[in-house]
Amino acid sequence: MLWQRHGILFVSAVVCGLVLSAGLLLGLRPILTALGAGGDTLPYVVQYGTIIIAGFVFSVFNITVNNIIVSEGATVFTSGVLVLGAVMNMVLDPLFIYAFHTGVEGVAYATVISSAASSLVYVLFFARGKGLLKFSLKYVKPSGNFFENVLKIVVPMLVFQLLNMATLTVTNALAVKYGNPSVAAFGITYKLFCLEINAVFGFLKGYQPLAGYNYGAKDYDRVARFTREGIFITTAFCVVCNVLLMIFSPQAIHLFNQDSAEVLAFGALTLRVQAVGYMTLAFQFVGASYFLATGDAKNGGVLSLCRGVLFLIFALLLNGIMGQTGLLAAFPVTELVASGITAVLLLKYEKQSKVPAAATM
């Protein structure tokens, strides 16, 4: 049964990747334009995007197989493959740019080749019988119950990612009327915070299956302990990161901008304001992951979606009332309200749940 489920998961992921790639390639220019690409940059973005999307199936394959192998406990191997892909990409980038003179297309080719190399390593892993699970098409037997359970988790996460894209699009669209320095500043802070967010996601990738496994084994004390420790560790990490960003905000912005004094000034302010709200980010993410790991798709879905929905509401409302100041204020207001909702749902769950350890969270 386990082999069958992993086979269905693998085939479904690859098929979805191919369909998504085809759809993105067909509507690439309109999508990129909506995301803010235009003018002289659009042709380069299209070149890069076309190659990256065409090779997207390798990324889907890698993510899927990576999670399967992690579930077997071979985390050192998967980490090694990730490092291999990253190092290979860093080596190929200058090679394509300076030796082959391929420009932005070369950067895209380097990324796809590195991703394909990682895929090959994963294939060899299973082909040589290193994994506990064996893949065969004969085990691929679609099951309505399987897809129903998977979609309970997948749909909220999918909408979460779509809302992140919508957040970036709306921010750019609203910031445009305040001039290019405003757009550049928001873009730089987005990149900086992505580093922090990705680190938290990396932690959650380990936390969620661990919590789910122990919840399924009815070891509720361990689930509660892991959740408490997860909230403490990730929140401490976010607080430290954001305090440092607040202190060194001019230096951080300067890494991405050495020319415009306006971008530097507004970027430093933007970074400080957003950092206040982002201190609570990990608490929200761990809360959502807790509900998803324990099978509570309703509350997990609410927490996965509320942050993006709240930002869209506050950004449009506060920008309309206070202009650029309101748009900037929408970031910390969103994070604080979303954190409040997370706390309320966790407390509500504590009161209603029959799980003995719920109160210890």
Q: Where are the alpha helices (DSSP H) in the chain?
A: 2-26, 28-34, 42-54, 56-71, 75-94, 103-127, 144-175, 180-216, 220-247, 249-254, 261-278, 281-293, 297-322, 324-352
| CA pair distance 187, 271, nearest whole angstrom | 11
Tokens matching residue 198: 């990705």
In tens, the pLDDT along 33-71 reads: 876 666 777 888 899 999 999 999 999 989 888 877 876
Instruction: Give burial (CB, 10 Å; 0-12/13-18/19+) of 328.
Output: buried
Dump pLDDT digits (tens) for 29-40.
888 887 666 677
**Domain edges within the chain:** 1-142, 150-361
The set of residues, in sequence order, having a beta carbon less than 8 Å from that of 134 and lying 6+ positions away, is 3, 126
Q: Can you list the pairs that 219-223 forms with residues at least 24 positions away whose Cβ atoms lie under 8 Å?
A: 220/355, 220/356, 220/357, 220/358, 221/356, 221/357, 221/360, 223/290, 223/293, 223/294, 223/355, 223/357
Q: How many CB atoms lie within 10 A of CB 52?
A: 18
The length of the chain is 361
The dihedral built from the CA positions of residue 162, 164, 166 and 168, taken in this order, carries a sign that is negative
Q: What b/e string do you get for 62-90 counting C-beta neighbours within 10 Å, with b at 16 or more?
A: bebbbebbbeeebeebbeebeeebeebbe
List the pLDDT tens digit at each of the 361 positions of the chain.
444 456 677 777 888 889 989 999 999 888 888 766 667 778 888 999 999 999 999 999 898 888 778 767 677 888 889 889 989 998 998 999 888 888 889 999 999 999 999 999 998 888 887 776 666 666 666 666 666 766 766 776 777 777 877 888 888 888 888 888 888 888 889 888 988 988 898 888 788 878 887 888 888 888 888 899 999 999 999 999 999 999 999 999 988 877 788 888 999 999 999 999 999 999 999 998 888 788 787 787 788 788 888 999 999 999 999 999 999 999 999 999 999 999 998 888 766 654 444 444 4
Measure CA 94 to chain center: 27
Q: How many other CB atoms are there within 10 angstroms of residue 264's CB atom?
A: 22
The three-class DSSP label of residue 73 is: coil
CB atoms near residue 44 (< 10 Å): 14
CB 257, CB 242: distance < 8 Å: no
- How many angstroms from the chain centroid is the CA of residue 184? 22
How far apart CA 117 and CA 99 sit, in angstroms, is: 21
* DSSP annotation of 178: G
Q: Is the pTM of this model over 0.85?
A: no
Q: Where does residue 222 rank: exposed (0-12), middle (13-18), buried (19+ CB within 10 A)?
A: middle
The token pair at 127 is 């082909």
Q: Where do we find the tokens 């779509």?
A: 162
